[in-house]
Structure 1
């Protein structure tokens, strides 16, 4: 069964998600969060990644196929955030 995708809808969501990721990275890099210990940084990263994946799930909860497709697009997201935090 094929799923009709509203590309503007998904594009809008992904743009908002990308903005959230950039905000998260900037909060860690340029705020008092930069004084966090390694464990605190890992915890912060895990919480943000969970929040992002939860928002993906909630946004597309009526169609789990969409959730899986969009989640695959962000499979390296936590690594990217971790790399930025580690700089």
Structure 2
């Protein structure tokens, strides 16, 4: 799948601490964090990647492209 065929995250839900809990995709699907993690790992979501944190957990982050406006923290709430 190329980037034009893959979904993107277009909105997010956060908890009171600002942690990402859910994502809405460009096709309108809503994924909880674990579902989103699986989709990213499978290559189904464009513009993001997985990294392993210092605590050993896996986390989703936006691809480093030098454009801060498309970071996951900038996604609108839904």
TM-score, length-scaled by structure 2: 0.33
* Structure with higher helix content: 1
Relative contact order (alpha carbons < 8 A, sep ≥ 6): 1 or 2 greater?
1
**Greater Cα radius of gyration, structure 1 or 2:** 1
